[in-house]
Structures are given as C-alpha cells and as structure tokens.
C-alpha cells in the first residue's frame, strides 16, 4: 500500500518518486545478476552460466557456491567442491567482474569463518548472510574474524530491526528489501540510519523485476551509501509480460526513470493469469541425505 501511495502522489504531482524523496544523488543504479545458477552442481556449468551474464552486460553477479541441501556444517568434500565452483567462475569472468557470495543464513559461525578464509583468494565483493541474523553476537564475531565484507538484512523488518545490527557492528553492508522492510520511505530511513556507522546499503530485491524493482530504484537513487542492488534473471520474462515498460538493464545499470510516480505500469489482465503460489520450501538436509 505504501509503495502504491508513492506512485499515486508522484503521478498527481507529475514527479518521479525519487524527487519526492529529496532528489537523486546518482543518474543510474548499479545491479548484479542473480538466479542464473539454480540447480547447478558442477563448476563447468557455473562457469558457462556466469559467462552468459557477462555477455548480457552485467559487471557483477551473485551466487551461492555451495550446492546441495542446506546444513550448518559442511563436509570437507563439500567445502572443496564449493572452492572449485568459485575458482571456475572467477577464471571464467576474469578479475574485473564483481562476484557476490550468498550463504543464505545457513552456516554455523565456525564454518562461516572457515569458508570465508577459503574463498578470500577469489576476492568476493561481499559475503552475504553467513549465519542467522537473529544471533547478532555470532554475526558480529564472524565479521570480526574475516576480511570479507559481511552483509545481512534481507529478512529484517523496519529500523528497529536494524538497530542491533548496527549497534553490535555486525555488518559492513545491509540489504533491506523494500517489499518486506516497511516500504520505500522505511528503506530510505534505514539507509540513513546506517550511514553514520559507515555501513553501505545493497538493497535485496528478490520479489520482482517490476514493482519492487522500481520502488528499490527510486529509494536507491537518494541514498548516498548505496552500492548495488539485485536483479533476478528468472523473473525477466514474466516481468515483461505483466509490465509493458519494465525498467531495463544496460551495461549493468538501470537508468533512473523520468516518468511520474514509479515510472512503470502493470497490465492487470496479464497479471491475473498468474495466481499466487506457495513459496518453495528451503532445501534443508534430511536424514536420508546423510548417507547410507
């Protein structure tokens, strides 16, 4: 509702939302490609898929190097496989492409630290959600023990949720999601709250390449401490179907829209053809996955 209200006010005043928020500090928004590696297990497959992202013009890609069911502790074989995957991707894309790592909050602190040390030679841009953010002390311990920038925040709601993260110095970068943190203004204010802590903002954007992406772009335009946001490749085809003027990526960036409001429109008839579905369950490890 909050996002829709910003769109309404922008259209009523003939202004893009970012002007209503105080005016942009940049003309374009950097994005990274995500969702390009799903269901892959072999290093060569990751490498080929990463190359395709670069051919599309992206200068940054995000990935989870650990395939298979999620667990707090990995076997040594799983560790080695993840290193091979990351090595293959780095060799495929070269030294100038930023590789962002997402561990999806599943590791124990000990294992998060161990993997960060193994991954450091590949110069990841950042290390997202190494453990559950609810244990702020554990997250702070991880941050203090590794050299990779630690990211958290995609599942945190509102400024009050981010306060302990900042007070405990538990992250170098936060990634609030406009669709779950409280909306456009809340995202802007969370970023402002992080700024005096020298914490950067990389907004999470799993929810769409249409409304949520547009809302994120407008909020990001006014953040001095913004660095990069998310673009999910698997959602592009559907996005184009339901949004005739969907924001487009060019050379790894999205230009700020100049139309009033959010700068996009939804085809509600097309959208009605895609009813909601249950979100897939996390790929957790079960007893049968532990071996014979």
Please indicate whether residue 104 is annotated as part of the active site: yes
Choice among 104, 168, 274, 286 that is catalytic = 104
Pairing of strands 200-201, 229-232: unpaired
Choice among 111, 204, 218, 286 that is catalytic = 204
What is the full DSSP assignment across the chain?
-HHHHHHHHHHHHT-BHHHHTT--S-SEEEEEEESSSTT--SHHHHHHHHHHHHHTT-SEEEE----SSB-SS--HHHHHHHHHHHHHHHHHH-TTSEEEEE-TT-S-HHHHHHHHHHHGGG--SEEE--S-TT-HHHHHHHHHH-SSPEEE-TT--HHHHHHHHHHTT--SEE--BTTTTT-HHHHHHHHHHHGGGT-EE--B--S-SSHHHHHHHHHHHT-TTB--EEEEGGGHHHHHHH-TT----BTTEEEPP-SSBTS----HHHHHTS---PPPPP-B--GGGG--
Distance (Å, rounded) from C-alpha 232 to C-alpha 186? 23
Please indicate whether residue 111 is annotated as part of the active site: no
Angle at 195 between CA 191 and CA 196, to 5 degrees: 145
Q: Tell me the catalytic residues.
A: 104, 204
């Amino acid at each position: 509702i909050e996002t829709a209200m910003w769109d309404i006010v922008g259209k009523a005043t003939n202004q893009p939302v970012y002007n209503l928020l105080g005016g942009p500090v940049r003309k374009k928004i950097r994005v990274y490609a995500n969702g390009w590696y799903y269901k892959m297990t072999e290093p060569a497959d990751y490498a080929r898929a990463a190359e395709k992202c670069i051919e599309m013009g992206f200068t940054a890609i995000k990935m989870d190097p650990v395939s298979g069911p999620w667990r707090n502790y990995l076997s040594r074989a799983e560790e080695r496989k993840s290193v091979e995957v990351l090595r293959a991707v780095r060799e495929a894309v070269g030294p100038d492409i930023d590789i962002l790592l997402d561990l999806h909050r599943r590791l124990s602190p000990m294992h998060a630290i161990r993997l960060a040390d193994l991954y450091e030679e590949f110069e990841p841009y950042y290390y997202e959600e190494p453990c559950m953010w609810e244990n702020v002390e554990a997250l702070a311990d991880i941050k203090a023990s590794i050299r990779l920038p630690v990211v958290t925040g995609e599942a945190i709601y509102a400024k009050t949720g981010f306060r302990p993260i900042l007070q405990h110095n538990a992250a170098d970068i936060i990634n609030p999601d406009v669709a779950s943190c409280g909306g456009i203004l809340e995202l802007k204010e969370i970023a402002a709250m992080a700024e005096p802590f020298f914490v950067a903002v990389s907004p999470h954007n799993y929810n769409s390449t249409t409304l949520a992406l547009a809302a994120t772009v407008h909020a990001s335009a006014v953040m001095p401490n913004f660095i990069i946001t998310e673009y999910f490749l698997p959602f592009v085809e559907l996005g184009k179907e339901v949004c005739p003027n969907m924001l487009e990526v060019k050379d790894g960036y999205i230009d700020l829209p100049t139309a009033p409001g959010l700068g996009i429109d939804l085809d509600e008839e097309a959208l009605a053809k895609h009813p909601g579905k249950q979100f897939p369950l996390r790929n957790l490890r079960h007893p049968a996955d532990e071996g014979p």
